[in-house]
Amino acid sequence: MARKTELYARHIALNGRMIDFAGWLLPVQYPTGPIEEHHTVRRAAGLFDIDHMGQLVVRGPDALPFLQRVLTTDISRMATGEARYSLVCYEDGGVVDDVFVYRLPDRYFIAINAANVDKDTSWFRYHIGRFQATVENVSEETYMLALQGPQAEAILQKLTPAQLDKLTYHRATESKVAGVPTLIGRTGYTGEDGFELFFPREKATLLWDGIMEAGAPLGLKPIGLAARDSLRFEPKLPLYGQEISATINPLEAGLGWAVSFEKGDFIGRSALLKVKLEGPARKLVGLEMVERGVPRHGYAIALDGRTIGEVTTGMYAPTADKYLALAFVPPAQAAIGTEVQVVIRGEGRRARVVKTPFYTPAYRR
């Protein structure tokens, strides 16, 4: 049976439409609908209940060398208070999960995906071996909210003594929000400026209500899963199980920047180095529909009557106001301007390879 987050009653009171997502009952949308919610985050701010996400804490004298072994990125270069995206790979280069690592004064705090909490916990613990390190799953006692959008800083600053204007992108600080001890990360998965907040579970309603009240004059609205998906899709932020998985490696997914071959050995390095040297067998590209049709996850990509790839994510992109998709195709068909067909209900519809991301994130402008 799907679990309810601490904010379930708030979502019901807001007329959120609840669905089972990764074993949790979460709002897929509110009455205004996902397109309006999407625009709200791009133009003002949105608050997301993402407590389905998991969290690990790694401590010990060998915490750094242990994580260097398990993660693909070079975290030895991280300063205290820095946050960094990374991947966890199998020996064959497939992806166990993608994670966010926060380096704190006395520990490493790692945000992991909802569907992978048990798998990730087991994977990390299995590989401790002789490292003097501990891996603690703190998901049950930790709550997670995301406040995203151009007004996010102004809203959160009303509730915290932390100097948010000094907290730059991919940095974190431990402070208080509405009087509650909170890890504040200037991170997010929408392509907008914003924050992810980690705090004691029992304070979820207090923080949700406080943030919603503080943000009301600035246009803050609650945001559901559907808009969260379109918001991450436009800036080409990968979703586990679609753009990355156990059968998809980081290099073919365009995530080579998150893999450090120079740092030394890590799980999956040999397999990924082979892909780097020989070139990936497929590439993740952006597609724009030329003919009418809505591309969806799993739809085949065809050329000259034969299947050459597959859509990983496809939808109407509200900011771009176009029907777009991410898809894997052979390198020969990955050049911008190449025309292919998306097979929709058995019929091929023309689409064209276009530049990605479809939306330039606020932190890259």
- Cβ proximity of 116 and 96 under 8 Å: yes
> What does the alpha-carbon distance between residue 105 and residue 100 come to, in Å, rounded to a whole number?
16
Report pLDDT for 271. 98
On whether the pTM is more than 0.85, the answer is: yes
- Cβ proximity of 325 and 340 under 8 Å: no
**CATH number of this structure's domain 282-364, picked from the four choices 3.50.50.60, 2.40.30.110, 2.170.130.10, 1.10.760.10:** 2.40.30.110
> What does the alpha-carbon distance between residue 246 and residue 123 come to, in Å, rounded to a whole number?
13
> What does the alpha-carbon distance between residue 269 and residue 271 come to, in Å, rounded to a whole number?
6
In degrees rounded to 5, what are phi and psi of residue 202? -70, -10
> What does the alpha-carbon distance between residue 130 and residue 137 come to, in Å, rounded to a whole number?
20
Q: Which residues pair with 89 in a beta bridge?
A: 95
- Cβ proximity of 315 and 306 under 8 Å: no
Report pLDDT for 365. 77
Report pLDDT for 364. 84
Q: How is domain 55-121 classified at the architecture level of CATH? A: 2-Layer Sandwich (3.30)
Report pLDDT for 110. 98
In the chain, domain spans: 3-53+140-233, 55-121, 282-364
Q: How far is CA 281 from CA 53, 246, 269, 331, in A?
A: 32, 16, 17, 7
Q: What is the CATH number of domain 3-53+140-233?
A: 3.30.1360.120
Report pLDDT for 362. 87
pLDDT averaged over 10-residue windows placed end to end, the chain, 365 residues: 95 98 96 98 98 97 98 97 98 98 98 96 98 98 98 98 98 98 98 98 98 98 98 98 98 98 97 98 98 97 97 98 98 98 97 98 85
Report pLDDT for 177. 98
